Structure 1
Amino acid sequence: MAERGIFSLLLALVLFVLYCVIWALCVLGWRTARTRYAGRLMPSRMESLPSSSAPGVTIIRPLCGLDNNLYNALESTMKLDYPKYEVIFALQDEKDEALAVVKMVIEKYPEVSTRIIIDDRKVGVNPKINNLMTPFEQASYDLLWVIDATISVGPGTLGRTVDAFLETSSFSSSFDSDLESTQLMSDDMRKPPVKGDVGLVHHVPYAVVYQRTWGSLIEQAFLNTTHAKMYLAINATAVDSCVMGKSNLYSRANIASLTTPSPTLRSRPNPPSGLAGFSPFLAEDNMIALGLWHELGLKHAMTSDVALDFLGALSVRDYINRRVRWIRVRKKMTPIFAVLIEPFTESILCGIYGAWAIDRIFIANRVAIFFVHMVIWLLLDLSVRRSLGANVKGIGPPSSTPLFVVAWLAREVLTLPIWLYGIISSDVTWRGKRYRILNSGEAVALDE
């Protein structure tokens, strides 16, 4: 009996430490959301520059089909407060329904430098990489901003993003010394990157829902609270790369210098480098970010802007399939410890083991502790949601807090069953095609 008592006490101490760590991350994510996003957006120094002095940026919008709110999302990149940029709309099929929307947007904004690239080339299983290959090669500028089709951005986002990219970069000193010069930054960007420079700027997604289905509401609750909170916390600690590919700006030269992380491609006599080297992975955004971080030693930065993600009418099953897909991809691309610890970072399971540990160590009321834990967790999540949405008021329908709380509760209850279902298989479905995720993180198409 004494041994059991000592074992349970040691277990309680371990779980209590874990509980404190998870809460520390939650508070860090909440604090980051409050300090970075709740204040007024500051103007970029780039906005006042003449086009001859500003670093040029190529915006690439990879498209496939009629994504939700496509016209407004594409239009947002035509109304940027930035003196020198071009927009490339990338498709792989001339019969793609998105093409008609693209042409309407271009016709409305003839003053913006735009191009449509249609190329059906295929370098690997990842359709997004296939769609990006030609735009990467034909972009006029070294700085590339890749934005997903469902994402809308604010007018000042690009300027602040370039500011963040140049903040500690080795080539920023010459730019700062003579802002009025006509020297193009692309010349400096060809220099090898310096360890510690910024190699990627990304934005936290903020979900907007017009069609209120339960699946879309639950997805919105996930993205605007738990996901955002942990995403901001991990990036604030800067212990490792943590990046989503919805809105990323980086240097083409840096991407071109990356070696492929694919064991399959490395076994070839002449393995591809650069963007093509990431084509075997469905989570190419994560792999590219890891390459910039570990291979080139380049940091990642974020701005006070959010990437507005317009969700379609999702069913609950659609939501579950999304989460399952990325759990199965993630479990092959991250250390096994990170995969196994994931459920312990969620509110309900965290509250259960935290309440038990506190009761075992300090002798307290477990039910009361769990209730207080859940209430504070919810209040923190609601605060994160308000902070992220502070500068995008008026976009989307008026929010209903009670409805949001119900969706939030549904998300929390579904978390553990979804995780358990996700880890039992390595097969995923993405855009109607089936893939199997290998131990290397690579994907193999099952329908071919």
Structure 2
Amino acid sequence: MTFLLYAQKMATVIYTVYGVAIFFFVFWCGTWGVHLIAILYGKWKLHKKTSLPCEIPVPGVSIVKPLMGVDPNLFSNLETFFTMDYPTYELLFCVEDESDPAIMLVKRLMEKYPNVDARLFTGGGNVGVNPKINNMQPGFLAAKYELILISDSGIRMKEDTLQDMVSHLKDKVGLVHQMPFTCDRDGFAATLEKIYFGTAQARIYLSAAFLGVNCHTGMSTLIRKNIIDEVGGLQTFSGYLAEDYFIAKSLKERGWNMSISSQPAWQNSGLCEIHSFQARLTRWAKLRAAMVPHTIILEPLSECMVLGAFASWAVSFLFKWDALVFYLVHILVWFLLDWILLCIVQNGSLSFNKFDFVVGWLFRECSSPYLFLHAQWHPEIRWRGRTYRLKWGGIAEELKPKVKV
């Protein structure tokens, strides 16, 4: 009887190990499907020339620009919004702090381009914990057009970017968003940012967009104003730090579709440092874990080095393949597919050479698991000089500094 119990326990253990190995192998196979979807969809979708139909009136667009502080590229970035080739739009600049130096830059541009409809709002509002929504609230309420473009301060526009975004706003499409990418800039930190947004971020973003999964980031978003007004305006989402995700979720629940623009969002911040970039990635990881808890397991498994290690063990256990050879081939193929995807997103010559890509790619892939673990170990979020704690579901509460007595 004792022997039978022991045999049953051993069989259970063996079956469990086989099940775990099969899971890792199947998950590994699925990631290659994600790679291929991103490459094929990116090749088909991105950088296509679009134009607005001539036979119908072009809708007006109210562009809400929340600003905070000044960086070396802010003036040139904002100027691109004054020189767009679009017939009817207004610029609504929102600055919460009335002593912010960004106000001076905005006024200079308004004087330089007096024919462009532009207004400046200072002071913000106090409708929730989200500082971005508080900042944008006066501009959003004053918007006079049916379409709203929410655009972060570091975004740079091409002359036809707004045309491209409006052209994707078809029937039943309530929101058009741009896939995050970066402009060409000098330095290793800029190279690292471009590699991340052109590979790991682009892979998930494009495949999710193709499959209809909510992948929306709010750095450059065109949305129908009445859709937001129906649920009470922007302030409805002010309890979340990731308001972009919950805005898109609200739209989808009401039957609206989303579309990505053929042009990516050209991020062009003048302050580009490895530490600040990694802090940004860590903050996003904390937000994803709070909003979609299953990403705590799936996200680290989607990383090249981590998944390759588990998959190498799985094929060694299941098929008796050489684990080291499998791991090295896995890394090489992943690397090559990331290079192909980055070239598709860039749509032209890269600002760095292949050696820089190898170094930047290895640095990102090796540091990513650490950043994810660090995010889970320190769940509080520091953003715009404030500290927040996230609850399950993404609801945020601001942690006030303790007053010393």
TM-score (normalizing by structure 1): 0.82
Specify the alignment match of 1:12 in structure 2. 21
* Residue of structure 1 aligned with 2:366, choices 392, 407, 413: 413
* Residue of structure 2 aligned with 1:241, choices 214, 232, 235: 214
Q: Does 1:370 align with 2:323?
A: no
Q: Does 1:148 align with 2:152?
A: yes
Structure 1: where are the runs of 5+ without partners? 170-196, 259-272
| Contact 1:123/1:276 (<8 A) preserved | yes
* Residue of structure 1 aligned with 2:291, choices 314, 318, 333: 333
Aligned letter for 1:223?
F
Specify the alignment match of 1:444 in structure 2. 397
Distance 1:153 1:401 in 2: 28
* Residue of structure 1 aligned with 2:178, choices 182, 203, 214: 203
Aligned letter for 2:217?
M
Q: SS in structure 2 opposite 1:76?
A: helix
Aligned letter for 1:363?
K
* Residue of structure 1 aligned with 2:60, choices 56, 62, 68: 56
| Contact 1:153/1:306 (<8 A) preserved | no
Deviation at residue 375 of structure 1 after TM alignment: 1.2
Distance 1:414 1:68 in 2: 28
* Residue of structure 2 aligned with 1:386, choices 340, 343, 347: 343
| Contact 1:68/1:150 (<8 A) preserved | no
Specify the alignment match of 2:5 in structure 1. none
Matches within 5 A, 1:86-165: 86-165=90-169
Q: SS in structure 2 opposite 1:436?
A: strand
- 1:68-98 per-residue CA deviation (whole Å, 9 max, x = no partner) reads 5111211221222211111111112332111
Distance 1:217 1:433 in 2: 29
Q: SS in structure 1 opposite 2:392?
A: coil
Specify the alignment match of 2:382 in structure 1. 429
Structure 2: where are the runs of 5+ without partners? 1-9
Deviation at residue 291 of structure 1 after TM alignment: 1.0
| Contact 1:126/1:279 (<8 A) preserved | yes
- Percent identity between the two aligned chains: 31
Deviation at residue 211 of structure 1 after TM alignment: 4.7
Specify the alignment match of 1:43 in structure 2. 50
- 1:222-270 per-residue CA deviation (whole Å, 9 max, x = no partner) reads 11210111111111101x3110011000011101112xxxxxxxxxxxx
Distance 1:131 1:93 in 2: 9
Specify the alignment match of 1:274 in structure 2. 233
Aligned letter for 1:87?
L
Specify the alignment match of 2:257 in structure 1. 299
Matches within 5 A, 1:20-31: 20-31=29-40
Q: SS in structure 2 opposite 1:242?
A: coil
Distance 2:65 2:276 in 1: 24
Distance 1:412 1:68 in 2: 29
| Contact 1:213/1:313 (<8 A) preserved | no
Specify the alignment match of 2:306 in structure 1. 349
Deviation at residue 425 of structure 1 after TM alignment: 3.2
- 1:333-391 per-residue CA deviation (whole Å, 9 max, x = no partner) reads 11x22322110001111111222222333332221111111111111111221111116
Q: How many residues align?
A: 392
Distance 1:68 1:149 in 2: 12
TM-score (normalizing by structure 2): 0.91
Deviation at residue 130 of structure 1 after TM alignment: 0.8
| Contact 1:209/1:311 (<8 A) preserved | no
Specify the alignment match of 1:263 in structure 2. none
Aligned letter for 2:206?
L
Pairwise CA RMSD of aligned residues?
2.0
